[in-house]
Structures are given as C-alpha cells and as structure tokens.
Homo-oligomer: A and B are copies of this chain.
Amino acid sequence: MDVRWLDDHERAAWVRLAAVLELLPGVLDAQLRRDAGLTHFEYFVLAMLSESPEGALRMSALAAQTNATLPRLSHVVRKLSDRGLVRRSAAPGDARATDVALTEEGWTKIRETAPGHVAQVRRHVVDALTPAQIDQLAGIAEAILGRIDPDRRFAANLRES
C-alpha cells in the first residue's frame, strides 16, 4: 500500500483547516452558552423552527435539517420543552408523528439571541475575509460538501440567519 502523502501546499491548507475545525465550534458555543444559556445545537434547533412556516416542524424533518439522529433530537426537544421554549403536539393525520412548535417564549429567545450570534460569526469569520475570499470560501465549502454530503441531506435548506 503506497500512500499519497500531502505536499507542502496541501499540508499547509489542511493543517489550518483542521485548526479551524477544532477551535471555531468552541468559540461559537461559548458565546451562546454564556449569553443565552443555549448549546449551539439547541440554538440551531430554535433557528430552524423560526424559519419554518408557523414555526413548527415534524420531529423527523427537524432531525434532517439539523443533522441529528432522532434519539438525540428527542432528548434535546424534551429539555427545550421543559424550559418552555417549544411545545410538542401529536401530529394530525399520523398518530406516530410529533410536531414541534416554538412557543411565544421560544420566539422571544431566538429573536434576542440571533444578533449576538451573528455578531460572533461576523467577528470571527466574515469580517476576517475579503469579499473575494468570501466567494472563494463558498466554492471551497461547496466542493467539500459534494464529497461528504453528496445528496445534500443536510445542507440543502440551511439558512442560518
């Protein structure tokens, strides 16, 4: 088995990407925990709901949009429900299914939280790049997604405010 190792350019790029992969999630998570008492994943769940018509989604649809397994989502939704941010209701027409909807407090929470999160994204990512780099980044990430998520189960309708 002979290995195609990375050349200098490739390694420089990968090493830096790996560092971003390691550090950036922690930075975003920390701000949300501190300022809103939310995990990044919990924030993302609320955000996806807020962008759906009526602020409600079927559990399995929500799981697909957030790239979560159903068990994971179930636990998280239960806790969000305990905190009064979402409400669960039996889905009309299919007795197996459950619909999740933002409560009034949930709407308030996401409206209050989004600006700080966007500011964080701006500070640490968007504003660090030139307009040309922004477009390059879109192309690069798109190309990588073509490999790791070929049928766009996840990234399809992503729209983080």
Residues of A within 8 A of B (CB): 1, 3-6, 9-25, 27, 67, 114-115, 118-119, 121-126, 128-129, 131, 133-149, 154-155, 158-161
Complex Cα gap A155–B150 (Å): 30
- Please indicate the chain B residues that have their CB under 8 angstroms from the CB of A141 in the complex: 13, 16-17, 19-20
Q: A149-B23, A160-B15 are in contact. Are A129 and B140 (CB under 8 A)?
A: yes
User: With A9-B134, A20-B141, A133-B143 given, can you name 7 additional A-B contacts, CB distance below 8 Å?
Assistant: A9-B131, A13-B135, A14-B125, A16-B141, A125-B147, A128-B144, A133-B140
Minimum distance in angstroms from A65 CB to a CB of chain B: 11
Q: A137-B140, A141-B13, A145-B16 are in contact. Are A154 and B23 (CB under 8 A)?
A: yes
- Please indicate the chain B residues that have their CB under 8 angstroms from the CB of A147 in the complex: 123-125, 128
Complex Cα gap A20–B133 (Å): 17
Minimum distance in angstroms from A86 CB to a CB of chain B: 21
13 residue pairs A–B, Cβ–Cβ below 8 Å: A4-B119, A4-B122, A6-B126, A14-B126, A14-B160, A15-B155, A16-B145, A17-B137, A18-B158, A19-B149, A128-B147, A129-B143, A136-B136
- Please indicate the chain B residues that have their CB under 8 angstroms from the CB of A146 in the complex: 128
